[in-house]
């Protein structure tokens, strides 16, 4: 079914955006930085794709799931959408890891350290 891959990408972006909104991990924490980082990452990977296509490393395969719209030879419409999703997902995952690290209590310097056996000699 043509367009199913693009639909899956859009639904996935929506799901990640809902998680982002709920926990304020990337876009809902700092919109400007998230948009800039996603745009730069997407542009970087599009250049990477262009080099791969020019050298013959990347070739578009046949799939009935693609819309059939090519932005360039061997570069389907879905590719930049996927790359933007990949960059956004990486930012959300980084935000989640950072939030978890901030929430973890750190032992203070004055607190005695416990040995591996629970303090038993």
User: Could you tell me the pLDDT band of residue 48, with boundaries at 50, 70 and 90?
Assistant: very high
What's the pTM? 0.84
Q: What is the pLDDT of residues 22-44, one digit of tens each?
A: 999 999 999 999 999 999 999 99
Q: Is the separation of the CB atoms in 96 and 25 below 8 Å?
A: yes
59-78 b/e (C-beta count within 10 Å ≥ 16 → b): eeeeeeebeeeeeeebbbeb
Give the DSSP H or E segment for 38. Answer: helix 31-54
Q: Closest by alpha carbon to 15, among 87, 94, 89? A: 89
Burial category of 38 from C-beta neighbours within 10 Å (exposed 0-12, middle 13-18, buried 19 and up): buried
What does the mean pLDDT of the chain come to? 92
User: Could you tell me the pLDDT band of residue 16, with boundaries at 50, 70 and 90?
Assistant: very high
Q: What is the pLDDT of residues 50-81, one digit of tens each?
A: 999 999 999 988 899 999 999 999 999 999 99
- Is the pLDDT confidence value at 119 over 90? no
């Amino acid at each position: 079914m043509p367009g199913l891959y693009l639909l899956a990408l859009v639904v996935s972006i929506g799901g990640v955006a809902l998680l982002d909104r709920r926990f304020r991990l990337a876009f809902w924490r700092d919109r400007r930085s998230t948009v800039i980082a996603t745009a730069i990452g997407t542009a970087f990977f599009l250049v990477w794709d262009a080099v791969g296509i020019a050298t013959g490393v990347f070739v578009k395969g046949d799939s009935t799931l693609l819309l059939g719209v090519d932005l360039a030879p061997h570069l389907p419409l879905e590719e930049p959408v996927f790359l933007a999703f990949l960059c956004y997902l990486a930012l959300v995952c980084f935000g989640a890891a950072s939030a978890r690290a901030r929430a973890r209590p750190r032992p203070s310097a004055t607190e005695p350290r416990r040995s591996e056996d629970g303090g038993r000699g």
